[in-house]
Chains A and B, each alone.
Chain A
Amino acid sequence: MINYSDIGLWEKIRKNKIAYNYILPAAIIMAIVTAYPIIYQLWMAFTNFSISNLKNPHPAYVGVSNFIKIFKNQVALENFNFGRTLLFNIFWTISNVVLHVIIGISLAVALNTPRLALKKLYRSLLIIPWAVPSYISALIWRNMFDTQFGAVNQLLSKFGLPSSIPWLTNPNPPIHFLSFLSYAYYACLITNVWLGFPFMMVVATGGLQSIPQELYEAAKIDGANERGQFFSITLPLLRVVMMPAIMLGIVWTFNQFNVIYLVSAGGPLGTTEILVTQAYKLVNPGGIYGIASAFGLIVFLILLGITLVTNRITKATESAI
């Protein structure tokens, strides 16, 4: 009997050579395309790289002062508030992903009902938010939230609800105990949920296929009703397949540049700013590349931390071995 832990590291590597071969092509591409930017950014983060260094990359080394400036909110950019941006970013991510997953799974399950008519058509229509370029969709949503003429307010008034809601222009919070969420957050949330649920629906649809029919039949025989079947069979098995998608969804939403930038531009007055839109503003129009790199590095580390924590909780990297 071979005790696995007795085998030395080199032995293990040798035994698993085929695994490394399988990973090689992907690893090469990623190494080339991502290693260099990371190293470059690492270096830039400790310098005062700015526009004048573009052609002549020999800026001065400034140690950790870029990082200190960021944490102390001493960066010369409007409404720069690292703490608030980070907090908002986390809340934004959680609220979005939760909604995406719930809506996505519910639609995938609904569309998986045996003998349901028009499934193919429905599925194709529901993917439209994902297919249309998000640039124009985000702009349309921004129009829809216009205070005077937006479709949202007009529809609200048709239903007799309060309809002069200043979605994108009023920096004050509508719900007092959630005082760091302005109206614009809700506008961005609605837009992003609209954009994001098709993806979760598609992944869940693929995942539902991997659940063997017999499990449902066995459960029926045991007397479980629809609800019971869903919670004891569908959900747990779906979880295995969806976990990777959820991890990715977290990373994407955390870095969701388009929606925030195009719908609210991080406003009003920086209340919907997230870390990546802030990073972009540091480069364009800020032009302070050194601080932008330091900022990018911080975002990277935060995201890494979040991923590791989520990974531990969901055990997503474990294999079925």
Chain B
Amino acid sequence: MTTQTKEKLKHLYIHGYIILWIIIAIFPIVWIISMALNPINVLKPTTLTLIPKNASLQAFKNVLIRPYEGSPVTFSRLLINSLIVAGGTAFLSIAFGATAAYAFARFKFPGRELGMLGFLLVFMIPTSATLAPLFVILTLLKVRSTLFGLIFAYTSSALPFAIWNMKGYFDSIPKDLEEAALVDGCDRNSAFTKIILPLSLPALAVTFLFGFMNGWMEWMLAWTFLTKPQSFTLAMTLYNMVGQWNTPWSNFAAFSLLIALPILIIWFLLQRYIVSGLTLGSVKG
């Protein structure tokens, strides 16, 4: 067999493996699409038919025209709010996380190990315990019913991942690069911003995605803190559809799909940075 055929065969196996996982990944989603197209609100359909009887796009229309029943706030307003909160969380988690990660990766200072473990603390507290104290703090800071208060709270839960992920990545960048720059007369800050950060685009992109997801999907804190419909987010509004007994499942499914789209778009765009093909070997000096 020629090397070309060998490679084609190998690729075939790889395609097969990937497609298997794609089917597994997508199968439940096909159900959600089916739910969204169903004119009656059925949570537990009795058959496996994927296109329901009398399928219609009415649910999507409902959700785009009047997402939140309690007030005529528009879908675009909610979308903008969500983008602000998610984007804000993403940027802050990169900004504060990268600097902290750099310190942990490059400096050996007293309290280093303690600090790293300390940043993990936030995950270990169940959310139900943080609702009331956070409420008190944010009210004290007078930002409780604003989007900024939410960004503040979300950033704190996104920071541990940001710091740990980027530290891991910084660790894998050889120290020689900065050493060379420092010898040449650069100061620490320039070494950080001009050398390390550009080389860490993949990690930055992953961290951005993660921070964005955090801010985009959260609803429990949002419902406890916000009170003005004009400041509501998409995720809150989605969850609002869940009634005590009745949930309009078709609308709920349609809305869920719409909410997932921006994440997919962002991942598609970020892929370029994550797989930018930076090879550190080429920077040997």
**A interface with B by C-beta (< 8 Å):** 9, 12-13, 15-16, 18-20, 22-23, 25-27, 29-30, 32-34, 36-38, 40-41, 103, 106-107, 110-111, 113, 115-120, 122-137, 139-141, 143-144, 146, 148-149, 151, 154, 194, 197-198, 202-203, 205-207, 209-210, 212-215, 237, 240-245, 247-248, 251-252, 255, 257, 276, 279-280, 283-284, 292-293, 296, 299-300, 303-304, 307-308, 311, 316-317, 319-321
Contact = CB atoms under 8 A, between A and B. Distances in A.
A201 to B, nearest CB: 9
Contacts of B113: 317
Interface string B264-285: 1001100100111111110000
Interface stretch (B51-59, B66-74, B78-86, B164-172): B164-172
Interface string B177-201: 0000000000010000000000000
Contacts of A113: 10-11, 14
A244 B164 CA distance: 5
B1 interface: no
Chain A binding surface SS class: helix
A32 B115 CA distance: 15
Contacts, number: 305
28 contacts: A15-B109, A18-B107, A26-B97, A26-B163, A33-B153, A34-B122, A37-B133, A40-B133, A110-B18, A113-B11, A124-B271, A133-B256, A139-B43, A148-B46, A149-B47, A194-B28, A202-B209, A209-B276, A213-B279, A247-B120, A251-B123, A276-B126, A279-B128, A292-B128, A300-B124, A319-B171, A320-B105, A321-B175
How many chain B residues sit at the interface, stated as a range, is 35 or more
Contacts of B164: 244-245, 247-248, 316
A157 to B, nearest CB: 11
Nearest to B207: A206
Nearest to B133: A37
Nearest to A212: B281
B186 to A, nearest CB: 13
A214 B202 CA distance: 19
B109 A20 contact: yes
Given A22-B103, A33-B137, A240 B165 contact: no
Most buried by B among A130, A135, A139: A139
Contacts of B15: 116-118
A22 B22 contact: no
- Most chain B CB inside 10 Å of its own CB: which residue of A13, A25, A244, A292: A244
